[in-house]
Amino acid sequence: MTASSPMGVSRPQVKSLDEILPREPLLMMGAGPVPIPERVARANSVVINHLGDVMAEVIGQVKSMARYVFQTESKWVIGVAGPASAAMEMAVANLMQSGESILCINNGFFSHRMAEMALRVGADVHELHVGVHEAADPERVRKAIEEARPKVLTMVQGETSNTVFNHSLEEITKIAKSYGCLVVVDAVCTLSTMPLKMDEWKVDVVITGGQKGLSSIPGVSLLAFSDEAWAAAKNRSKPPAQWCFDIQLAENFWHKDGYHYTAPVSGIMALHEALKLVCDETLENRFARHLRCSKALQSGIQGMGLDLFIPNESRLNSVIGINIPESLTAKQICQHISEMYRVEIAGSFGQPIVRIGQMGEQCREHNLFRTLHAFGSTMRDLGIKVDQPNGMAEMESYLQKTPRPLYQVA
Ligand SMILES: *Cc1c(COP(=O)(O)O)cnc(C)c1O
């Protein structure tokens, strides 16, 4: 209890941030947020007028770089001050109206979130449940579309929670488009870590956040609409209930140099730098870097004698799920590796796994070695027999036999 004061609520006694934060920053190898490059961190300290010529130029560049990263010529790139979930909600809230049918492919925790959002809009929500270890099957999706006749189909490219990769995304999109559905893809985890060709694959909306594949900060997110999806969102009979997420209002800021709400200036600066780093590196080199690092880490983990959660054909490379030995919990492992080795990894939402991220800055060789060493040592410290020298050797030999792509050092 704090003593009452004549001024009303009394002043709290709090620690300084320096006292709270660890002396040595933890290496963020979980499922996001991921480490940010120095240039991104510096940009994140900039505040300028949120309206005016300088901001307009920055926004223009953010949009054109985003078009490259999304692989779309569509004009309709917009951002939102909020987590990736805010971008998901923006897609759902603008495309759906009460009573309209939507089909959500549910691969787990995150892809189910779209269905929750659609329910709140009052949509007629259908969910196609996919087994925990599997990718969505195009023929099952076709059947579900024939039954639900949805206006919109939603799916995730990489389900971060159970580390499943929906490898048939392009084929599923093609099927959905043949029934006249708009296709919304959550690429929060995967964007810029693996191919996603919005225009070529005819995806209508792509959603991403800052803190995963893009290696920016959390709290500013991007999405792109196809012309068809933009028109569908504009031609609705009533505006969406959420004023902040209304794309017609967001258009004022993102396309007309006008005011909607005060933009998250610093976060947009950070995102600008993160996108610039993707452009400098090129998508091809970035995909190759992610693939090489993730596969090397996977061979290292398996080389120690541990098992990966998802079979090779539907395994996500952007986040790796590792089975937990029966005698341990995810919490024990995550706590130990953090306290002893200053490396952060993640537990999971409901699965018996720990997860190590391979997104953006996490995919650097020095980070792989530190992480695999810390992980193997943690297992040994906690009484699990692992062949750590073999794991380290397997990782090194994978790296040696796979050419290192050219990359811009951040
Ligand atoms: C992390 C994540 C989200 C949610 O992102 P927030 O920024 O926490 O809202 C959604 N979808 C996927 C696939 C994710 O990995």
List Cβ neighbours of 129 (8 Å cut-off, separation of 6 or more). Answer: 106
Ligand 1: which residue has its CA nearest to atom 2? 188
Q: Measuring from each residue's beta carbon to the nearest atom of ligand 1, which residues come in under 6 Å?
A: 32, 83-85, 110, 156, 160, 186, 188-189, 209, 212, 218
Taking a C-beta distance cutoff of 8 angstroms, is the pair 160, 32 a contact? yes
7 to each of 1, 13, 14, how far by Cα in Å? 16, 16, 19
- Residue 223 belongs to some domain of the structure: yes
Residue 363 Cα to ligand 1 midpoint, Å, equals: 19
DSSP-derived pairing of the beta strands 76-81 and 220-225: antiparallel
Taking a C-beta distance cutoff of 8 angstroms, is the pair 270, 44 a contact? yes
Average pLDDT over residues 73-81: 98
Taking a C-beta distance cutoff of 8 angstroms, is the pair 166, 194 a contact? no
- Is residue 379's pLDDT more than 80? yes
Residue 332: domain span = 27-33+282-401
What span, in angstroms and rounded, lies between the C-alpha atoms of 278 and 342?
Answer: 27
- Pair 271, 395 in one domain: no
- Is residue 90's pLDDT more than 80? yes
Residue 159 Cα to ligand 1 midpoint, Å, equals: 9
Taking a C-beta distance cutoff of 8 angstroms, is the pair 395, 372 a contact? yes
Which domain-ending residue is among 213, 247, 280?
Answer: 280
Percent of the chain with pLDDT over 90: 95
What span, in angstroms and rounded, lies between the C-alpha atoms of 209 and 213?
Answer: 8
- Pair 210, 352 in one domain: no
pLDDT per position as a tens digit, 3-52? 556 779 999 999 999 999 988 889 999 999 999 999 999 999 999 999 99
Taking a C-beta distance cutoff of 8 angstroms, is the pair 116, 108 a contact? no
- Is residue 160's pLDDT more than 60? yes
- Residue 407 belongs to some domain of the structure: no
Coil, strand or helix: which one is 298? helix
Residue whose pair of structure tokens reads 């940009």 in the numeric block: 43
- Pair 114, 86 in one domain: yes
Mutate to test the pocket of ligand 1, among 160, 161, 184, 194 (most ligand atoms within 8 A of CB): 160
Between vectors from CA 409 to CA 408 and to CA 410, what angle results, nearest 5°?
Answer: 105
List Cβ neighbours of 79 (8 Å cut-off, separation of 6 or more). Answer: 62, 220, 221, 222, 223, 250, 254, 263, 268, 271
Taking a C-beta distance cutoff of 8 angstroms, is the pair 172, 166 a contact? yes
- Closest by CA position to 314, among listed 128, 111, 136: 136
Which domain-ending residue is among 256, 280, 304?
Answer: 280
- Residue 20 belongs to some domain of the structure: no
DSSP-derived pairing of the beta strands 220-225 and 164-165: unpaired
Model pLDDT, residue 350: 84
Residue whose pair of structure tokens reads 């006749």 in the numeric block: 149
- Pair 71, 176 in one domain: yes
Average pLDDT over residues 366-394: 98
- Pair 312, 348 in one domain: yes
Strands, E assignment, 82-157 = 101-106, 124-129, 152-156
What is the overall mean pLDDT for the chain? 96
Taking a C-beta distance cutoff of 8 angstroms, is the pair 67, 78 a contact? no
CATH number reported for the structural domain that contains residue 371 in this entry: 3.90.1150.10
Residue 383 Cα to ligand 1 midpoint, Å, equals: 33
- Pair 272, 288 in one domain: no
- Pair 119, 245 in one domain: yes
What span, in angstroms and rounded, lies between the C-alpha atoms of 298 and 315?
Answer: 11
Taking a C-beta distance cutoff of 8 angstroms, is the pair 184, 153 a contact? yes
List, as one string, the DSSP characters of 332-382: HHHHHHHHHH-EE-B--SSSSEEEEE-SGGG--HHHHHHHHHHHHHHHHHT
- Pair 110, 77 in one domain: yes
Phi, psi of 9 (to 5 degrees): -65, 130
- Residue 260 belongs to some domain of the structure: yes
- Pair 163, 303 in one domain: no
- Is residue 408's pLDDT more than 90? no
Joined tokens for residue 352:
């018996």
Average pLDDT over residues 280-307: 97
Model pLDDT, residue 23: 87
Mutate to test the pocket of ligand 1, among 106, 162, 212, 221 (most ligand atoms within 8 A of CB): 212
- Pair 139, 255 in one domain: yes
Residue 149 Cα to ligand 1 midpoint, Å, equals: 27
- Residue 368 belongs to some domain of the structure: yes
Average pLDDT over residues 207-229: 98
- Residue 382 belongs to some domain of the structure: yes
- Residue 11 belongs to some domain of the structure: no
Model pLDDT, residue 129: 98
Taking a C-beta distance cutoff of 8 angstroms, is the pair 391, 372 a contact? yes
Mutate to test the pocket of ligand 1, among 161, 189, 221 (most ligand atoms within 8 A of CB): 189
Query: In the chain, how many domains are there?
Result: 2
Taking a C-beta distance cutoff of 8 angstroms, is the pair 343, 369 a contact? no
- The helix (H) or strand (E) run that includes residue 283 is helix 283-303
- Residue 6 belongs to some domain of the structure: no
- Pair 313, 337 in one domain: yes
Coil, strand or helix: which one is 51? coil
Model pLDDT, residue 179: 98
Joined tokens for residue 313:
């054909």
CATH number reported for the structural domain that contains residue 81 in this entry: 3.40.640.10
Amino acid at 170: E
Model pLDDT, residue 1: 47
Query: What pTM was computed for the model?
Result: 0.96
Confidence band (pLDDT; 50, 70, 90) for 251? very high
Which domain-ending residue is among 280, 301, 334?
Answer: 280
- Pair 76, 185 in one domain: yes
